[in-house]
A and B are shown apart, each in its own frame.
Chain A
Amino acid sequence: AQKVTQAQTEISVVEKEDVTLDCVYETRDTTYYLFWYKQPPSGELVFLIRRNSFDEQNEISGRYSWNFQKSTSSFNFTITASQVVDSAVYFCALSEAYGGATNKLIFGTGTLLAVQP
């Protein structure tokens, strides 16, 4: 069965602190995709990143970075120098590929990040 676990329900940090959001996944597929989405209070999920299972290179985009490790089935997300605008719920998700025909996502339960000024 495919599953995504985000063990951290809530994290509170003070502005400018670095914070890492954990994501652990389970799948029997050898080919899969992992995603992170941000859900601000407005409710609309915003795409942050997509990684495929064959690309373990870490990625950095501004203050955001992602660490993908197949050996531990983890895809962690780090925000450097956090800002109040980063406050949101962050979801990790795994694609369930039916021969690559569908983009159905399996989401974790999310981590609520609160950045205090």
Chain B
Amino acid sequence: DTGVSQDPRHKITKRGQNVTFRCDPISEHNRLYWYRQTLGQGPEFLTYFQNEAQLEKSRLLSDRFSAERPKGSFSTLEIQRTEQGDSAMYLCASSDTGANEKLFFGSGTQLSVL
């Protein structure tokens, strides 16, 4: 069990560019989550997958955001035409299938949009 890993750890980009983040969950976990955390705030839910199916998306997730989880393993989160307001820590988490199971978080990708 190597835990949840995220890549890259840091990303600096210019406004208007596209960025993509990757998350590798704990291998036996069916559920995968993306959260966003800004300075001084708690994580906010963005989206959730059960296997390869994206079952829920937050209103926070604008049309510029898209997430995929092909084959139900790793996931990618893409942000198109980045804006300065997208600057945040993007956290990935995974869990077992049971209801209200604890989430295991990765160390996050810190995005800075200049």
Contacts and interface: CB of A to CB of B under 8 A. Distances in A.
Given A43-B89, A95-B100, A105 B45 contact: yes
B42 interface: yes
B42 A44 contact: no
A67 interface: no
Chain A residues touching B, range: 20 to 34
Contact of A104 (B48, B105, B106, B107): B48
B105 A44 contact: yes
Interface string B34-51: 000000111111001000
Interface stretch (A13-21, A45-53, A54-62, A74-82): A45-53
Interface of A: 4, 33, 35, 37, 42-47, 50, 52, 91, 93, 95, 97-98, 100-110
Given A45-B105, A105-B43, A105-B103, 9 more contacts: A42-B107, A43-B110, A45-B91, A50-B102, A102-B48, A102-B55, A102-B99, A107-B42, A110-B41
